[in-house]
Amino acid sequence: MRLSTSDMADGAQRVMCGGGMLSDIIGWVATLAHWQQLSLLLALAYGGGSVLGAVWICQRLGLTDPRLAGSFNPGFSNVLRLHGAMPAALVLAFDATKGMPALWLGGEIALPAWALGLIGLAVLIGHSLPLWHRGHRGGKAVAAAFGVLLMLAPGVALSCAALWIGLAWRLRTAAIASLVSGLAAPLFSLWLAPEMSGVILVFASLIVVRHALNLRRLSDGSEPRL
């Protein structure tokens, strides 16, 4: 039996349609798996971000809870103000690295930049609104943002760190150093990491919002100095 040209064309079209449907199904399954992986990493990032290094380290060193003294902020700069360089360095290292496992895993499974940005944002939200600490009084997310940026845009992270150190040394006020370096981050990103500039703008906005009390204290001259 010989097939006509039209019969062969119809058969080819059916094969192509079947292949296209199979390709669509595979794509849907891959997308679903992608979102499941992202959801797990977001939960890991938020949970890790919720562990406040300042509270955890001060408890283990038998030091005053930074939420009860100084600027009342559970962060690196308040620990530096209250307890000195060594505990503050431990807090900085802890808070800067706690989001790195989730971001590293996201990179290993080749998540796109926007998804890695969401994971980084989950770390900062965890630090600001922690799950694990009584009263949910979180930090300002500056050290956590530094660690996230080291993974996503290291040039921006190092530029902001240099700016923070210079301003803190010159002005002796951590809040000003944090606000200026946070606002500078999106500008640095336009040059150093343009693909992450939108994500970094969101990070900077969160840091500014978290410094609302500091802005009021700066305006009336009551902001604690380093």
pLDDT per residue of the chain (226 residues) written in tens, 0 to 9 = 454 545 544 554 544 455 566 555 655 555 556 788 999 999 999 999 999 999 999 999 999 999 999 888 999 999 999 999 999 999 999 999 999 999 999 999 989 999 999 999 999 999 999 987 666 679 999 999 999 999 999 999 999 999 999 999 999 999 999 999 999 999 999 999 999 999 999 999 999 999 998 999 999 988 888 8
Q: Are 156 and 77 in contact (CB under 8 A)?
A: no
pTM value is 0.84
pLDDT at res. 221 = 86
Domain residue ranges of the chain, discontinuous segments joined by +: 7-52+97-220
Q: Are 139 and 52 in contact (CB under 8 A)?
A: yes
Helical spans, DSSP H, in the chain: 5-49, 53-61, 76-83, 85-97, 100-108, 113-128, 142-152, 154-171, 174-192, 197-210, 212-220
What's the gap between Cα 146 and its chain centre? Answer: 8
Q: Are 223 and 217 in contact (CB under 8 A)?
A: yes
First to last CA, the chain: 92
pLDDT at res. 117 = 95
pLDDT at res. 35 = 81
pLDDT at res. 8 = 44
Quote the Cα angle for 136-214-186, to 5°. 90
What's the gap between Cα 73 and its chain centre? Answer: 19
Contact partners, residue 142, CB within 8 Å, separation at least 6: 75, 76, 77, 164, 178, 181, 182, 207
Give rounded-to-5 percent helix, strand, coil for the chain: 80, 0, 20
Q: Are 92 and 79 in contact (CB under 8 A)?
A: no
Q: Are 173 and 223 in contact (CB under 8 A)?
A: yes
Q: Give CA–CA dist 82/121, Å, rounded.
A: 28
What's the gap between Cα 210 and its chain centre? Answer: 14
Residue 225, helix vs strand vs coil: coil
